[in-house]
Amino acid sequence: MRRTLLQAFQWELEANSNHWNLLGEEIDYFKELGINALWLPPAPKGAAGVNDVGYGTYDLYDLGEFDQKDTVPTKYGTKAEYINAIKKLQKNQIEVYADIVFNHFMGADETEQVSAVKYSWDNRNQQISDEEEIEAWTRFTFPGRQGKYNDYVWTWRNFSGVDYDAHNKDHAIFNLADKGWLSDVDSENGNFDYLMGCNLDMTYEETVQQLDRWGKWFLAETDVDGFRLDAVKHIQFDFFVDWLLRRRKEKGAPLFVVGEYWTDELDKLENYIDSSGNLIYLFDVPLHFNLYQASRSNGDFDLREIFTGTLVESRPDYAVTFVDNHDTQKGQSLESWIDGWFKVHAYALILLRKIGTPTVFWGDLYGIPTQNIGAVGKSLEYLLKIRCHLAYGNEVDYFDDPNCIGWVHTGEFEKELSGFAVVLTNADANQKEMTISAIHAGKTFVDVLQNNETKVVLDENGRGEFPVNGGQISVYVNEDVAELIWKQ
């Protein structure tokens, strides 16, 4: 399956509990664009109730079914609506991937007295206090659910750290009961086991058992096709191996699994892929930062190096490429928003290439109204349609100029209208001589993005001169195809 993945949410969606229903209504649009897989936001109830984006996990078993945190539905809707949306998508040959947040819990129901040691925010290997007793929000009883599906009560024993002492009103990183931190995690800040909230202790057997029990229940309830794993750099690197192998056995089929490991250090991503038994794809964060830098360099970025040091270059079979996401959008802690003039360039670089699994961001497809950010528009829709219908044959690169690069897909003889040429620049207007294929000899190609009005007639070898305006991108397709795309 050649996936085209949509991240089906953005951080500032309206908290109207209608998103699951909306996804079902958009199926025809997704299919028109060739989107055949959706990454859905976290379904479990979060600590902030209806306003929780889903990453403040409170109760894994409450998918919008119980009156907890002042709401029955989540930000996105009820459990019944969630299941219904999944079934409708799958019925239309669109795979569904659930977002799994196993790093932390938040919003505990009760406090507990527990011994703890304080550690430095900047160096989690540096102890900065003696052992002391703190009052920690670590007891999760889920009173609104009353034991349905699972009656386990989570206590401080399930966690290795918290960031608040309710007795002294002290915000700090506390390691509980002298447990220490896991060593097989990212080395940022000395040790990045602890991120936020009540940090799950993956060395405590009952924690692992409960997460496995929930995974079996969740898969049986939802029948999703895969998972997006949150914050894997903070979780023991091999934790998910057994968990995923059991889910695959229960599903009776492979699962598509992508992890979020936020770093631009390629060697760390490669190490994680190896440590997780080659079961988990990763988002290509280094490529995102290359795109970000290119968008902000005022033409000084060498476009020939756009894929240098990226996961799609190093481990293409495990790279999930993206332009922006909910964490990089404006106002978020990892903000690195790709400037608008380069947005279509960036999407062409992931959607119209053979390698990598590209992800389209909801905020780019639909806009972010609360931030006055409009959708990328027709250009993004055209790129998606080209990927779906025309991206056949061999791929030939013309990465021979620091400010102007191009590539072609040759097309296939059996698919008469397939094939295309891409040329983009981050500086002055330019042109590039490229050969698509002799099977297109004498055909006229036009810029489907309508940035350049030139009609390029290919010679007997399928070669032509493809112009591009300053700071723009042009994608040349057979003029008959262009007419069809524009009319849709």
Residue 5: CA count within 13 A, CB half-sphere: 28
Q: Are 277 and 237 in contact (CB under 8 A)?
A: no
Bridge partners (DSSP) listed for residue 474? 423
Provide the phi-psi class of 278: left if phi over 0, else alpha when psi is between -120 and 50, else beta.
left
Find out whether 408 and 422 touch, Cβ atoms under 8 Å.
Answer: yes
- Set 109, 135, 188, 260: catalytic member: 260
Spot the catalytic one: 230, 284, 364, 447: 230
User: What does the alpha-carbon distance between residue 78 and residue 70 come to, in Å, rounded to a whole number?
Assistant: 14
**Whole-angstrom Cα distance, residue 369 to residue 12?**
9
**Residue 227: HSE in the Cβ half-sphere, 13 Å Cα cutoff:** 23
Q: What phi-psi label fits residue 113: left (phi over 0), alpha (psi between -120 and 50 degrees) or beta?
A: beta
User: Per the structure block, which two tokens stand in for 325?
Assistant: 């996401």
17 in Cβ contact with 50 (< 8 Å): yes
Which token pair is 293?
């830098």
Is 230 among the catalytic positions? yes
CA distance 112 to 133: 10
Q: Are 97 and 37 in contact (CB under 8 A)?
A: yes
CA distances from 71 to 77, 245, 286, 294 (A): 10, 34, 39, 44
Give the residue numbers annotated as catalytic, written as ranges: 230, 260
